[in-house]
């Protein structure tokens, strides 16, 4: 352990993984943007990535539901992040649930190379099941932030992304037209109908 601490002090590099997770409309992307902007203000070299399939608001920007945004690079797969990260100190990744499990190795490699990695993604799909690689990312992260939306039915804290449409595939891009945040009690009530 002393060797690790001394090598961190000597190189000045200490990579970490931070995961911001929760339901839709909980502020995950807003928090990601806030952290990345602070890193930019501090003069750190920052690169932001998002899955190319997410074009809800913009092809080249990560945009929160409250219209905060930051320039990003869309990528088709997690491996591309390693190729495009270049000489950076902070990597941001939005909508990580849409990547395959290779994103876990990518985040580990970046952090092992002294890069701060900040990841945002849904922890559960519309059926309340763990979503994609997020559980594995939560397990390896040094820091985890779970954010909550407000239940649209009762006003309590919400952690479920209830899909209002009849589509059954796991990935369906949408906004308030297709999803609403619900607390556990309201989510279970809706499922019993």
Annotated active-site residue in 30, 47, 95, 180: 95
Give the total residue count for the chain: 193
Distance CA 191, CA 162 (A): 9
Q: How many C-beta neighbours within 10 Å does residue 187 have?
A: 21
- DSSP string of 171-184, one letter each residue: ----STTTEEEE-H
CA distances from 7 to 1, 45, 54, 180 (A): 10, 22, 39, 47
Q: Which pLDDT value is given to residue 173?
A: 57
Q: Which pLDDT value is given to residue 52?
A: 83
* pTM of the entire predicted model: 0.85
In the annotation, is 95 catalytic?
Answer: yes
> How does pLDDT run along the chain (193 residues), one tens digit per residue?
343 433 344 456 689 999 999 999 999 999 999 999 999 999 999 999 988 876 555 555 555 556 565 667 889 999 999 988 888 999 999 999 999 999 999 999 999 999 999 999 999 999 999 999 999 999 999 999 999 999 999 999 999 999 987 877 776 655 667 789 999 999 999 998 7
Parallel, antiparallel or unpaired: strands 46-51 and 73-75: parallel
Three-class SS string for 129-147?
CECCCHHHHHHHCCEEEEE
**Domains of the chain, first to last:** 2-148 (3.40.50.300)
- In degrees, rounded to 5, the angle at the alpha carbon of residue 11 between the alpha carbons of residues 7 and 16 is 80
Residue whose token pair is 């990597």: 91
Q: Which pLDDT value is given to residue 172?
A: 60
Q: Which pLDDT value is given to residue 3?
A: 38
Q: Choose among 25, 8, 18: nearest CA to 174.
A: 25
Judge contact between 120 and 68, C-beta under 8 A. Answer: no
Q: Which pLDDT value is given to residue 85?
A: 87
Q: Which pLDDT value is given to residue 71?
A: 64
Distance CA 186, CA 192 (A): 10
Q: Which pLDDT value is given to residue 1?
A: 38
Q: How many C-beta neighbours within 10 Å does residue 180 have?
A: 22
Q: Report phi then psi at 178, rounded to 5.
A: -115, -20
Residue whose token pair is 């100190």: 89
């Amino acid at each position: 352990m002393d060797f690790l601490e001394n090598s961190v002090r000597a190189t000045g590099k200490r990579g970490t993984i931070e995961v911001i997770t929760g339901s839709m409309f909980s502020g995950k992307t807003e928090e990601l943007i806030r952290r990345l902007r602070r890193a930019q203000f501090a003069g750190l070299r920052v690169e932001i990535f998002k899955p190319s399939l997410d074009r809800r608001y913009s092809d080249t920007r990560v945009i929160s539901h409250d219209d905060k945004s930051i320039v990003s690079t869309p990528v088709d797969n997690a491996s591309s992040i390693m190729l495009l990260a270049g000489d950076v100190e902070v990597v941001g990744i939005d909508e990580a649930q849409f990547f395959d499990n290779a994103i876990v190795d990518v985040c580990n490699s970046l952090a092992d190379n002294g890069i701060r990695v900040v990841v945002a993604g849904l922890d559960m799909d519309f059926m309340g099941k763990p979503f994609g690689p997020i559980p594995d990312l939560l397990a390896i992260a040094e820091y985890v932030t779970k954010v909550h939306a407000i239940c649209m039915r009762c006003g309590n804290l919400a952690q479920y992304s209830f899909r209002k449409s009849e589509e059954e595939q796991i990935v369906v891009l949408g906004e308030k037209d297709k999803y609403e945040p619900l607390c556990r009690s309201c989510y279970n009530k809706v499922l019993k109908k």
